[in-house]
A and B are shown apart, each in its own frame.
Chain A
Amino acid sequence: DAGVIQSPRHEVTEMGQEVTLRCKPISGHDYLFWYRQTMMRGLELLIYFNNNVPIDDSGMPEDRFSAKMPNASFSTLKIQPSEPRDSAVYFCASSLAPDSYEQYFGPGTRLTVT
């Protein structure tokens, strides 16, 4: 298995632009998670899906952030408009349900907003 795939690996954009991060989970995994990692705040869970349905989006910082999972093999995290404080590494992870709580992480997308 190729593991969790994220694209792009690096994104540099200007403040005010729309940013879309993409994730392909491991085939057969029912849960998908989006995390953000920064030096100041560590690893934060933004949102997670179960069977393509958002279950908990309490970690989404504000309305500028949105996430979708149109099918079992694809998810997006969108920031519109982006701000410099959104600069971080964004990770996607997936896991099986219901007995396994191991999450498999993708390599991350390093976002820089100038």
Chain B
Amino acid sequence: AQSVTQLGSHVSVSEGALVLLRCNYSSSVPPYLFWYVQYPNQGLQLLLKYTSAATLVKGINGFEAEFKKSETSFHLTKPSAHMSDAAEYFCAFRKTGGYNKLIFGAGTRLAVHP
């Protein structure tokens, strides 16, 4: 079955430290993958997407993600965390089969402390 798994429901980093949020997918065909961010009391906002082009994808706010087929992963990174990065992050997977439908992971809540 096609699915996406986010490892770690909570991640805490210091301001200025590396941010690494993990996402693994399960699919027999190359997927389309996305990272969304949700700030408190807001809707989800697209950070970046992978659609079978470059494996290293750059997004907004200094985030990037690398698609690794051998590891079935699409981890999100940022070199230096900022307090404003505190939010919940969702990895999403576009379900193949001709449907415009995203399957979301359970989410990872990122805390950034001084």
- Identify the A interface with B (CB < 8 A): 4, 31, 42-43, 45, 48, 50, 55-56, 91, 93, 95, 97-98, 101-108
CB proximity of A82 to chain B, nearest CB, Å: 22
- Identify the B interface with A (CB < 8 A): 32, 34, 36, 41-46, 49, 51, 90, 94, 99-107
CB proximity of A62 to chain B, nearest CB, Å: 20
Closest 7 CB pairs of A and B: A105-B43, A105-B44, A43-B104, A42-B106, A101-B94, A107-B43, A102-B46
Majority secondary structure of chain A interface residues (helix, strand, loop or mixed): strand
Q: List the B side residues contacting A93 at CB < 8 Å.
A: 43-44
27 A-B Cβ contacts within 8 A? A42-B106, A43-B44, A43-B107, A45-B102, A45-B103, A48-B101, A50-B100, A91-B43, A93-B43, A93-B44, A98-B100, A101-B32, A101-B34, A101-B94, A101-B102, A102-B34, A102-B49, A103-B44, A103-B102, A105-B36, A105-B43, A105-B44, A105-B45, A107-B41, A108-B41, A108-B42, A108-B43
